[in-house]
Each structure stands twice: as C-alpha cells, then as structure tokens.
Structure 1
C-alpha cells in the first residue's frame, strides 16, 4: 500500500505568531516537505494545482521535476491536475516530459478544481465542467496511446495528424487517478477506463465516502476490469499528531479555527467527529486510519494533508517524521494483514504498466 503527503500550497498567516511566508518561501517549504517524505520512507508526494491566491502551485510539472532531481524513490503525483481548464495536448506533453526526467516516477490525478473563476480565466464555461472533463480526458488518452491523432470535438480546435512530443516513457502512459468528492460522473469515468478513483474525504462524513467509492467499484466490475473489490482506490485525510490527545488539540486548535478552507465553522471536536480529520496520538491516528478500510474496503493509496493552515515548517517536518517512523510502518503491517490475496496491494506504477499492462506501442519514424 502506498502512503504519502499531498499539499495544496496555501499561503496562510500563522495565527499564533502572525507571520506570513512569501510565495517563494512557501514553494521552498513544499520542496522540503517532499524531500522529508522520501527521507522517512513515504511513497508519494502530490501537489495541487491552483491559479489563484492564496495558493502557489500553478505549475505542478515544474515543481515535480525540481523535486525529481533531488530524490531517488519518491513517486511524484498531483492532488489535482485541472482536466477542464488545461489543454489536453499540453497535459500530454508536460507529463510525458516529466516521466522522462524522473525515470517514470510519475502518476497524476485529474479533477475540476475548487475555484469557479478559473474557468473564464482560461476561456472555459463552468456550466460545461463535466462534459469538458469527459471530452478532454478522452482526447488525452488518445494522445498518449496513438502515434498520430486526428480528432474533432466540441471544446477545442480540431487536430489533424498531431504527434505528441515526447511520447510517454517506454510508450507507457502514466497511471491516472480521477479525483472527486461529489460527482458520480467522475467516478463513472474512472470505472469506464479502469483507472484509479481518489476520494479526498477530508471534508466528508464516512457515509458519503462509502457511497462514492461503492459506486465506482460496482461500475469498475460492470465494465469488466475485475471484481469490485479489486478496483484501485485512494483516500485523502488530515492528521495532527501529538504526544497526548489534549496536547495535539491545544496546539492545532488555532490553526484549525483560522484555516482558509474549514475555519470559522464547526468546532474542532465537531469536525473530527464528523469527518476523517484526526487530531491526537500516534495510536489514535493509526486506529482511525485503519477504520477507513471498514468504510470503503481494502484500498491502495492513502495521502495525508499535513501542511495546511499556516503551520510552521518545522512543525510540519516533525509531523512527517512521526508519520513516517511511527504511524505508517504499523499501518502497512496491519492493512496488509487484512487484505485478501486477490486484492491489489498497490496501484500500478510505471514498471508494472510497462511490463504487464496492454497498451499501444507508439512507432516513431527515423
């Protein structure tokens, strides 16, 4: 099972000491977080994509390439690649290029983002978000799998004999996750293609998460990709780890209360009771996370949000140290104890896709 960190890259005032990092400092902090994740043995670092304040990750492939040059094993991913407002041609070329730079340590998650104004900024209509996602991804798959693409659709100019450069590494496209917290159409799309489905359940009660994942699993089986329990599922979550439960809550409370996403609403206690947010000891984080599989079934990837809401970098790095050395080893052991033999323990990676999965072999002329 893969464990890792995802960051949304928010530039947020520290409510305790009043400091606000510069954009450059926040980017550097995200880099150090990724390097720390590899140092402590985590599998994945994923960055969001945003084009509006207070977020900085507007160019995920640039940042992931920089991280790739400083790591050896870390899988580089995205917490959202905007399939609706990015051109599929540019996505195809950017992520294939990143594959080559990183030696194949790449996958990505498609989503529609959380900011309405981004659509007109990139010349799109938010009312067309779902059809855009469906059409753009269909084109992207062809661009990654066919040596020359002639295509016409509704939302971009036609292509005539277009050749993507570079082609995917080893003619093997990166594994794709479809991320959604509320759109059954996206779960359906993931199931149709046999791709992974990622439910970022940091805001939602277990009943909602179970409903979305179960629908994806049923449709995955209906499309003939395998049994429902073999579908590739990932979950998000947020934790804050302390030596004691009360100590963790006392430290984290001002950050929670002023967070740009969920602050100024339910109390910390209400939110942790209703959602997967866990603030407490190592043992509490382990038990709560293990419980996710009771809701959605055995799954393959767990990503944690650690650096949100203005937490100081030194605190974030300490949290990753605790996660990698105290929490994840026990989670790996206990998740694998309960996993049936026929259920995949990991999502596909470049080597398995290259060696075992059927895909188009792109022919290149000299």
Structure 2
C-alpha cells in the first residue's frame, strides 16, 4: 500500500501572525515539502492544478519535473490534472516528458476541477464537463498507446497522422487515477477502462464514499478486469498531528477556523466527526485512518493533505516527521493484516512493465463498443 501527501497549493494568510507568504515562497516551500516527504519515507507526492488566486500550482508538470531532479525514489503525481480544460495532446506530451525525467516515477490523477470559471478561461463550456471528460480521455488513451493517431470527435478539432513525441517511457503509459468527489459517471469511466479511482472524500461523510467506491468496484468487475476486490482505490485524508491531542487541537484551531475552504462554518469538532479530518495524536490518526477500510475495503493509496490553511513551512515539516516516523509505519503493518489476497498493490511503472513483459496485462473491457454500457 502506498502512503503520501497531496497539496492544493493555496496561498493563505497565517491567522496567528497575519503574514501571507509570497507566491515564490509558496512554490519553494512546496518543493521543500516534497523533498521532506521522500526523506521521511513516504511513497507519493501529488500536487493539484489551479489557475486562479489564491493558488500557485497552475503548471503541475513543471513543478513535478523540478522535484524529480531533486528526488530519487518518491512517486510524483497530480491530485488533479484537468482533463476537461487541458488539451489531451498537451497532457500526453507533458506526462511523457515527466516520465523520462523521473525514470518512471510518474502517474496522473485526472479530474474535472472545482472552479467553474476555469472553463471559459480555456475556451470550454462547463455544461459539457462530462462529455469533455469522456472524449478527452478517450483521445489521451490512444495518444499514449498508438504510434500514429487519426482521430475525430465532437468537442475538439481532429487529428491526422499524429505521433506523440516523446513516446511513453518503455512504451508504458503513466498509470491513471480518476479523481472524483460526487460524480458517478467518473467512477464508471475509471471502472470501464480498469483505471484507478481516487475518492477525495475530505469534505464528505463515510456513507457517500462507501457508495461511490462500491459502485466503482462493482462496475470494474462487470467490465472483466477482475473481482471487485482487485479494483484500484485511493483515498484522501487530512491530518494535523502533535504528540498529544490537546496540543494538536489548540494549535490547529485558528487555522481551521479561518481556512478559506471550511472556516466560519462547522466547528472543528463537528467537521472532524463527519469527515476524515483528524486533529490529534499519532495514535488517533492511525485509528481513524485504519477505519477507512471499513467502508472502502482494502485499498491501494492513502494521501494526506498537511500543508493547507496557512500553516507555516516549519510546522508542515514537523507534521511530516510525525507522519513518516510514527503514523505510516504502523499503518503499513496494520493494513497488511487480514488483507484480501485479491487486493493488488498500487501499480507502478516497474510493475506495469513486468506485467506487460510477462503477458499478464489487464484484460480489455467486455463491451468496448457499447456507449450505453460505458455511461450507465
């Protein structure tokens, strides 16, 4: 099982000092956080994609390419690449380059984003978000798998005799996760192609996440990729950790109360009881995270957000020391206990390469030509 962190790249004032970092500081701090994540033994660093203030990660592959040069082991991913507003050709090119730069330490999480105005900024119509997702991803898959692509769709201009350069490293496309919070069509899309499904359930109760993951697992099996337990699931989470819970609650409360995304709403205690947010001791984070398996089953990737709401870099690095030193080692051990033999490890470039060379790649969907079956 993989453990890591993801960032949304927000530039938020520190409510305890009223100081707002510059954009340059926030970008440099993100690099330091990624390097620290590798140092403490985490498996994955992922960044979001935003094109509006107060966020800075408008070019995720640029950021990840820089981090790739400064790291050796950690997998570099996105915690959303906008499949709706980015052109599929550019996504294919950027991630192929990142694969080569990182030696294969690359995968991608696709999503629609949560900022409505981004659609017209890139010449798209938010009312066509689902059709854009399906059409763009269909083209992206072909670009990564076919040497010469002739293609025509409804929402983008046609391609004639197009060849991607560079080709994916070793002929293996980056593994794709489909990130979604609430949309059944995205779980269906992930299941149809046998891709990963990432339920970023940080704002949602367990009952909703259970429904979405169960739908994905059921449809994954329907399309002939294996048992429901063989489906590839990732979950989001949020944590603020101190050696004792009282200190954690006291220190994090002003950040929570003033955070742009959930401040001035439910109390810290209410939000923690309803969502995956855990503010407390290492043991409390361990116990709550282990509880995710009760409604998601045996899953493959757990990512935490730890650098949001204006937390200063020093505090974030301390969080990573606790996460990597006291939390994740226990989670690795406990999640292995009683794990279903059908539950695979999270795919990596090397595991996909071995599977291809051994001729054990995933089977094709049973009904690849049926639009009704793809979008039910």
TM-score, normalized by the shorter chain, greater than 0.5: yes
Aligned mates of 1:201, 1:245 — CA distance in 2: 23
Aligned mates of 1:350, 1:245 — CA distance in 2: 39
Equivalenced residues, count? 358
Counterpart in the other structure of 2:54: 54
Q: Is the 8 A contact 2:227 2:342 kept in 1?
A: no
Q: Is the 8 A contact 2:196 2:231 kept in 1?
A: yes
Q: What is the CA-CA distance between 1:342 and the residue it aligns to?
A: 2.4
3-state secondary structure, aligned to 1:216? helix
Equivalent residue runs for 1:11-50 within 5 Å: 11-50=11-50
Counterpart in the other structure of 2:74: 74
C-alpha distance after superposition, 1:282-305 (max 9, x if no partner): 100000000000111000000000
Aligned mates of 2:262, 2:113 — CA distance in 1: 16
3-state secondary structure, aligned to 1:76? strand
Counterpart in the other structure of 1:89: 89
Indicate whether 1:218 and 2:237 are aligned. no
Aligned mates of 2:38, 2:244 — CA distance in 1: 26
Counterpart in the other structure of 1:168: 168
Q: What is the CA-CA distance between 1:353 and the residue it aligns to?
A: 1.0
Q: Is the 8 A contact 2:213 2:296 kept in 1?
A: yes
Q: What is the CA-CA distance between 1:340 and the residue it aligns to?
A: 1.9
Aligned mates of 1:93, 1:60 — CA distance in 2: 13
Indicate whether 1:351 and 2:311 are aligned. no
Aligned mates of 1:335, 1:294 — CA distance in 2: 11
Equivalent residue runs for 1:1-366 within 5 Å: 1-344=1-344, 346-357=345-356, 358=361
Aligned mates of 1:18, 1:266 — CA distance in 2: 22
3-state secondary structure, aligned to 2:9? coil
Aligned mates of 2:341, 2:42 — CA distance in 1: 23
Aligned mates of 1:271, 1:348 — CA distance in 2: 33
Q: What is the CA-CA distance between 1:337 and the residue it aligns to?
A: 1.1
Aligned mates of 1:192, 1:340 — CA distance in 2: 23
Moved more, 202-211 or 348-357: 348-357
Moved over 3 A (4+): none
3-state secondary structure, aligned to 1:338? coil
3-state secondary structure, aligned to 2:273? helix
Q: Is the 8 A contact 2:44 2:76 kept in 1?
A: yes
Aligned mates of 1:20, 1:120 — CA distance in 2: 29
What's the Cα RMSD here? 0.8
C-alpha distance after superposition, 1:213-263 (max 9, x if no partner): 000000000000010011000000000011221111110000001111111
Aligned mates of 2:350, 2:74 — CA distance in 1: 14
3-state secondary structure, aligned to 1:110? strand
Aligned mates of 2:11, 2:154 — CA distance in 1: 36
Moved more, 333-342 or 55-64: 333-342
Aligned mates of 2:243, 2:38 — CA distance in 1: 23
